[in-house]
Amino acid sequence: MLVRHELSWWAMEDRCSHADCSFSSDGELDGLTAICDCHGSEFDVRTGTVLAPPADEPIATYPVKLSEGHVLVDI
**For the residues 45-58, what does the mean pLDDT come to?**
97
- What is the tens place of the pLDDT at every residue in 3-25? 999 989 999 999 999 999 999 99
- What CATH number is attached to the domain comprising 17? 2.102.10.10
The count of structural domains within the chain is 1
Burial 48-65 (b: 16+ CB within 10 A, else e): bebeeeebeeebebeebe
pLDDT at 38 over 90: yes
Parallel, antiparallel, or unpaired: how do β-strands 2-5 and 8-12 relate?
antiparallel
Domain with 41 in it: 2-73
pTM, two decimal places: 0.92
pLDDT at 75 over 90: no
